[in-house]
Copies of this chain bind each other. A is one copy, B any other.
Amino acid sequence: MNSSTDGDADPAEAPSARPRGSVMRDVARLAGVSHQTVSRVLNEHPNVRPETRARVLEAMRALNYRRNLAARTLVTRRSRTLGIIGFETTLFGPASMLYGIEAAARQAGYFVSVATVPNLDRRSVLDAVDRLTQQSVEGIIAIAPKPTVTTALLQVPAGLASVGVGGGATDDDAVPTVRIDNGAGARLATQHLLDLGHPTVHHVAGPIDWPEAYERIEGWRRTLYDAGAVVPPVAPGAWTARSGYEQGMVLARDPSVTAIFCGNDQIALGVLRALHEAGRRVPEQVSVVGFDDTPDAEYFLPPLTTVRQDFAELGRRSLRVLLDQIDRQGRGRSPDHVVLAPELVVRASTAMPGRARRRRGRPSGGARPGGPGGRG
């Protein structure tokens, strides 16, 4: 606090060193033991006298000691850190997966470092992998809808565990994946509409170069085909409400359209608005089904029938797969490919064709008792 004449400061005073907290040696000195004993206490080594342990713990508390992870990582070669490569993490799905992964990682005693990519081209992904590698992460989870990402994961330095989560099936299965069965989800939606009596089902798809979108298209097409129904053309678009709105405008003009399966809930939102503006009532004249079951879907007008995927569970499962891989350290067993089953959530946006559901102007969503289109 005395000489504040910096610039020409006495070099003996260690001029601009970051204030460093106490280290193991400080704790050791205060507790009257060697630093190694402190280390043993920290790592819960059994051979420490309870009395000594108590003394060390007390010293750690007194000095507010935090172990230095960098030093530990350096010598053990284990950073206890996982890397996540994220894309479009502002959307509900990716954000939920991210959250699920982080929460599970924390519980497992791992730290999480995030690298988002501005787009999914090879370079960006490799760049993200590189940044994570520098941080000596022990494994990488890629929120990875496109194959560029999973194949890029093959590039990771040998011995580094990795898993792709939430995309489609991969061509080569060298990289483990965790995802939902998009085809089955599409089938649930489509069959639901067919069962209601719709002669066929139209589809407003996501971007066709995303395996998720492609698989949903295929599941839908296949279901129609199996049922002997006409397969209308698909015009793939984006995952956005805007895209749904635009395509919905076209479908709304065609009076033969009575059922629309949408690639996700946002598309469905756009479709709903297009139908509304065209004066076509949902579900009386047209039924609509979404995909994802975002929290908002239950409050759309009308509450959206949709296919739920459990993003948080995807995150948790992907972490488990990754940790398994880390434990095995590369040897043994072929890569896991976990496929979770999606679930149809029926709400008020679907009905038999050409039939009102007697709900016009009535409070509280129609036939379903017990509150506002509840989830269970």
Contact, CB under 8 Å: B18 / A69: no
Most buried by B among A131, A133, A246, A363: A363
In the complex the two chains form, what is the Cα distance from A100 to B329 in whole Å?
35
For chain A, the count of residues having a C-beta within 8 Å of the partner chain is 76
CB of A12 within 8 Å of the partner chain? no
How far apart are A86's CB and chain B's nearest CB, in angstroms? 8
How far apart are A354's CB and chain B's nearest CB, in angstroms? 20
How far apart are A250's CB and chain B's nearest CB, in angstroms? 12
CB of A148 within 8 Å of the partner chain? no
Partner of A70, one of B17, B89, B136: B136
Contact, CB under 8 Å: B18 / A277: no
Partner of A159, one of B18, B71, B303: B18
Q: A19-B159, A70-B74 are in contact. Are A103 and B118 (CB under 8 A)?
A: yes
CB of A365 within 8 Å of the partner chain? yes
CB of A229 within 8 Å of the partner chain? no
Binding site for B on A (CB under 8 A): 16-21, 64, 66-71, 73-74, 77-79, 81, 89-92, 95-96, 98-99, 102-103, 106, 111-116, 118, 130-131, 133-136, 157-159, 240-242, 244-246, 249, 266, 269-270, 272-273, 276-279, 295-296, 298-301, 303, 329, 361-365, 372
Q: Which 10 A-B pairs have the closest CB atoms?
A: A241-B299, A70-B73, A95-B95, A19-B159, A70-B74, A70-B70, A90-B95, A279-B361, A90-B96, A301-B301
Sampled A-B contacts (16; CB under 8 Å): A19-B158, A19-B159, A66-B130, A68-B74, A70-B70, A70-B74, A89-B99, A90-B92, A90-B99, A98-B114, A111-B113, A244-B299, A246-B372, A270-B299, A273-B300, A301-B301
